[in-house]
Chain A
């Protein structure tokens, strides 16, 4: 399968008055063409920072990509000039943000905001641009598109606005769409509609999607693969099946146990105790140690090596080590 995006050893830091926040600390993942990768994790674990880094939208100062590589097709994103980056943003890679109520400029019409990306990047006449905008509104399911183009954001509901934002992101036919919690701010019924829209769009355009969320329900619905993030690291990654049915990391298991599931009815929901570590001075070892029911001495001191359980399934956890398995086995006897 063709890899469209490959992130290696990505580090992002923010210098603040209180010290340096190590928001992303060595993230590796890739995205295949046409698939949907979900990045999940509690809030504050670095999901948005990771996606902003791919777009090179980390505010600098205070933030900075301090190490690592982001390869998008043949291009090394971290080395592009700001000008080169502008010709990628909105054209090759697009982004959707969490809150559709604030992502649209209240003082400009929907039409203006839809076509400005097109006009920036393509040589296109105003009539052609408008026609394309109408097509896009139709694609995302907004009726009366001709009328709607002349309206302002406050004349639309939250769900409608998110559809418009999606139309805006897709208007230049990008190959990669990064959606940062696109449904978090919406009602449950609207959430389902928006997720269906993503699926439909992916079918018709073949766009690859990175979906950031903290909602495993969303993941279950549309992801192909899942990366689980914790304290600035990806601690487990696998296909949706592998993550939902064969998860290995205690954190992943904890996440799964803390949401209701149709296939495991009757089981008790147990939230994960404790809070994530402080990213000013993250622990040397596994960041989950303090909250982990299986923590061993080694976990405190050394970050686990990555264990590949299959081509697609990888875990950063000392429990995967043969010695730990023996230990557990004896403990069970």
Chain B
């Protein structure tokens, strides 16, 4: 197990390095520079600024400096937002984005799994049809459309919930619904179909033949097996939610990391691009690692420390 984790950490580091390198190449190959603007700046000032941000160095030196900043986790000052370091921005934005993401995942998992189970248990019943319709809607409506609809109806027309920002639990409701509905629908559909399949398995019949109660059978015998595919797609869902936060944060004016990430690209704010990219990637890679660990815990047939196996 320890050996497996060590190996995974190494692979994660390599993945991160590839992402950083690609980001760097993309960054220097898009035209423009953080210091170009409409204003004509004095050439001496320009040169001084470039020197200050090391932009006059050859690319390989800049690259090394970025690598160094990542290893030491100190991304230096932002170019566009003076008096703020990238670490400041991350420190302020990340907790909010993290909160949005985590609440979304939890809401999507709990509601999706519950809906999926109910639909499977009432196969071809009213709940089943409702759940399927809801799932199809949830999958086909993009989150930004849903977000706009929610704001228009619940916030503007009916004035039930606040339309924007992230200052109280009530403020969280709409963005979380907007972001969670898609993943919830996917989880519900998957849980329903695997649950239906699992319920026909012999070991479920065996559990019934033992005289176990229906809920015990569902929770102890069926759910765990039915959740395996859900865990498998968690990686994709997490990536989707993560990119979803950029959009949702923008629509709901949530002061998370997403805003800095998007703005930094538009403004060619190199240190912020680097910082946010590294941060997002590291986070996602780590979450994928956790997913694999959970998978190994759920299914004893998967041996984490051995390759292949029975």
Contacts and interface: CB of A to CB of B under 8 A. Distances in A.
Interface in B173-212: 201-203, 205-212
Contacts of B216: 116, 120
Contact of A120 (B211, B224, B225, B301): B211
B298 interface: yes
Contacts of B221: 105, 108
B213 interface: yes
Contacts of A116: 207, 210, 212, 216, 220
B202 A103 contact: yes
A57 B208 contact: yes
B169 interface: no
Interface string B203-245: 1011111111100100011001100000000000000000000
A120 B202 contact: no
Contacts of A91: 211
Contacts of A108: 220-221, 224
A86 B211 contact: yes
Contacts of A86: 211-213
A23 to B, nearest CB: 17
Given A88-B211, A89-B210, A89-B211, A107 B300 contact: yes
A280 interface: no
B210, B212, B224, most chain A CB atoms within 10 A: B210
A102 interface: yes
A164 to B, nearest CB: 11
A104 interface: yes
Interface in B289-304: 298-301
B205 A97 contact: yes
Given A88-B211, A120-B216, A121-B211, A168 B206 contact: yes
B310 interface: yes
A89 B203 contact: no
Contacts of A105: 203, 206-207, 221, 225
A97 B202 contact: yes
A102 B211 contact: no
A104 B220 contact: no
B202, B206, B216, B301, most chain A CB atoms within 10 A: B206
Contacts of A87: 211
A169 B207 CA distance: 10
Nearest to B222: A105
A95 B209 contact: yes
B212 A120 contact: yes
A102 B203 contact: yes
A169 B211 CA distance: 11
Contacts of B209: 55, 57, 89-90, 94-95, 97, 169
Contacts of A120: 210-213, 216
Contacts of A254: none
Contact of B205 (A57, A106, A121): A57
A106 to B, nearest CB: 6
B120 to A, nearest CB: 14
B225 A107 contact: yes
Nearest to A82: B214
Interface residue SS majority, chain A: loop
A57 B299 CA distance: 28
A107 B202 contact: no
A308 B280 CA distance: 82
Contacts of B205: 57, 97, 103
A116 B209 CA distance: 12
A165 interface: yes
Interface in B19-33: none
B202 A90 contact: no
A90 B211 contact: yes
A291 to B, nearest CB: 32
Interface in A70-116: 86-91, 94-95, 97, 99, 102-109, 116
A231 to B, nearest CB: 24
B294 to A, nearest CB: 13
Nearest to B227: A107
B69 to A, nearest CB: 45
Contacts of A106: 203, 225, 299-301
A79 B219 CA distance: 28
Contacts of B220: 108, 116
Nearest to B203: A105
B210 A103 contact: no
A304 interface: no
Nearest to B224: A107
A8 interface: no
A248 to B, nearest CB: 35
A140 to B, nearest CB: 16
Nearest to A87: B211
A327 to B, nearest CB: 48
Nearest to B299: A107
Interface string B276-298: 00000000000000000000001
A143 to B, nearest CB: 20
A55, A106, A121, most chain B CB atoms within 10 A: A106
A90, A152, A168, most chain B CB atoms within 10 A: A90
Nearest to A104: B203
7 contacts: A90-B210, A97-B202, A105-B203, A105-B207, A106-B299, A106-B301, A120-B216
Given A89-B211, A116-B207, 6 more contacts: A99-B202, A102-B202, A102-B203, A103-B202, A105-B206, A105-B221
Across chains A and B, which 3 residue pairs bring their CB atoms closest together, nearest first? A89-B211, A90-B211, A90-B210
Interface of A: 55, 57, 86-91, 94-95, 97, 99, 102-109, 116-117, 120-121, 152, 154, 165, 168-169
